[in-house]
Amino acid sequence: MSASTTHILPVLIGDAKKCKAAAQYLLNHKAIYLQPINYPTVPIGTERFRVNVTPHHSEAQIYALADALEEVFYKFDVPFLKEAAF
């Protein structure tokens, strides 16, 4: 998705069921809470995570999040940007 100018980073999932399931997986298996944002807050097909990054997050936490996101993208068959049709 477009670069954010705030501390809130959108991570496109693109499917409401996958967004909810992936968020639940991250919480249950990685102890990472990401807010899933689904319709009607965003248009159908643009479902996403709302990631909040703050100065209180360590570099290790950011790398752990990146690894966890990569895992759920593969697990839930979420296309990476280079594979997406956007």
Q: What residues in the chain have per-residue pLDDT under 70?
A: 1-3, 82-86
Instruction: Report d(CA 48, CA 51) in Å as an integer.
Output: 9
Instruction: Report d(CA 82, CA 35) in Å as an integer.
Output: 24
Bridge partners of 57, per DSSP, are none
Q: pLDDT (tens digit, 9 = 90+) per residue, 7-20? A: 788 999 999 999 99
Among residues of the chain, what percentage have pLDDT more than 90?
Answer: 74
The predicted structure's pLDDT at residue 83? 47
Domain positions in the chain are 15-81
The predicted structure's pLDDT at residue 30? 96
Q: Which CATH class is domain 15-81?
A: alpha beta
